[in-house]
Amino acid sequence: MSKTNDVRDAVEDELTFDPDVDASDITVENAGNADGTVSLSGTVPSYPQYVAAAAGARRVVGVKNVRNHLEVALPPGDDRDDQTLTTAANNALTLNNTVPVGVGATAANGHLTLTGTVRDATERAAAGLMVAGLTGVRGVKNDIQVRADTDPAGVTPRVHDSPF
């Protein structure tokens, strides 16, 4: 068995045994990628599983880059119209004391976009986490800005690489 197949098999095993991921509809590909890149395709039933699958693949020794082409296929009854999802997301952000006033969310086809300004990268990440698990979320785009006058050097670029 080649090293490429070993990495693919290891990623498949990691996803199969990860309790946060339903890997039954996930395909792992890396044929010919000696650079450590794997691609995930298929479907998962929630946005948190989308994020967890990519994180699980990154945990495997030999994986240097993950291309996440998974789609969130919500189970029957979990679809929410944009107005309902926008309201739920803004309520979640408002009720959480780690997310400052002025951060908001809008939904389009199950994809939330977060906007506003926060003091630091921790508040930015907290906002993403607050809405990621809401029923009906297919994706989260975090466009929240971190105030430049309060961000310690080097923190914002690392948080911007976060899925939230």
Together in a domain, 36 and 89: no
Residue 63, domain extent: 3-72
What is the pTM assigned to this prediction? Answer: 0.81
The pLDDT of residue 5: 75
CATH of the domain at 12: 3.30.1340.30
Judged by DSSP in three states, 55 sits in helix
- Of 21, 41, 72, the position where a domain reaches its end is 72
Backbone angles phi, psi at 96, to 5 degrees: -100, 125
Lowest mean pLDDT among 17-26, 76-85, 116-125: 116-125
- Of 54, 72, 90, the position where a domain reaches its end is 72
Q: Which helix (H) or strand (E) holds 41?
A: strand 37-44
Together in a domain, 51 and 120: no
Residue 33 has pLDDT above 80, yes or no: no
Q: In angstroms, rounded to a whole number, what is the distance separating the alpha carbons of residues 9 and 71?
A: 21
The string of pLDDT tens digits covering residues 105-163 is: 999 999 999 999 999 999 999 999 999 999 999 999 999 999 887 555 555 565 666 66
Greatest mean pLDDT among 3-12, 65-74, 140-149 lies in 65-74
Query: Looking at the domain assignment, is residue 107 inside a domain?
Result: yes
* Domains held by the chain: number: 2
- Model confidence at 21, pLDDT cuts 50, 70, 90, reads very high
Q: In angstroms, rounded to a whole number, what is the distance separating the alpha carbons of residues 72 and 138?
A: 5
Region of residue 63 (phi > 0: left; psi between -120 and 50: alpha; otherwise: beta): beta
CA angle 99, 101, 105 (to 5 degrees): 75
The pLDDT of residue 89: 97
Residues 6+ positions from 94 with CB-CB distance below 8 Å: none
